[in-house]
A = this chain, B = another copy of it.
Amino acid sequence: MILGELEKQVLNHLWSAGEADAKQIHAAFSAGRSSSLNTIQSTLDRLYKKQLLSRSKQGHAFVYHTRVDREDLIAQLIRSITSDLVSQDNQSLMAAFVSLSADLGDDELDRLEAMIQNHRRKSKLQP
């Protein structure tokens, strides 16, 4: 799956706002970036069809919510973009992790290791 710029911005807004309708997003964007309300609506619709958003009619307009959280979407995008470049085991993917962590500081590396430990513990309890 591929996401365009506007799609990413809309997702970002929904992640921080929790939920919003087209008009609200359009208003939030009108300072700086301007796309017509229709464009926002099309983008919301595309994201909805991609099953990245859910929506419910509250009062007058559809209110959209994200259906995946940021980390899972990022992971999904990484999977899809690298699927044909990664061999049988995940050697390359792990190496890419390290390559990516080039611009992580010591403290961030610490946190990353802590997360790995935590993840390892969790998966041990849930086999």
Contacts and interface: CB of A to CB of B under 8 A. Distances in A.
Nearest to A101: B119
Q: A interface, by DSSP: helix, strand, loop or mixed?
A: helix
Total identical chains: 2
28 contacts: A3-B81, A5-B84, A8-B84, A8-B85, A11-B85, A12-B85, A70-B92, A70-B95, A72-B96, A73-B85, A74-B82, A74-B85, A74-B95, A74-B96, A75-B100, A77-B81, A77-B82, A78-B78, A78-B100, A89-B108, A90-B104, A90-B108, A94-B112, A95-B115, A97-B97, A106-B120, A109-B119, A113-B116
Contacts of A120: 106, 109
Interface of A: 2-3, 5, 8-9, 11-12, 70-75, 77-79, 81-82, 84-86, 89-90, 92-104, 106, 108-109, 111-113, 115-116, 118-120, 123
A74 B101 contact: no
B99 A109 contact: no
A74 B99 contact: yes
Given A75-B102, A97-B112, 20 more contacts: A2-B2, A3-B81, A5-B84, A9-B84, A12-B85, A71-B95, A71-B99, A72-B96, A74-B93, A75-B96, A75-B100, A78-B100, A89-B108, A94-B108, A97-B97, A97-B116, A98-B115, A102-B119, A112-B116, A113-B116
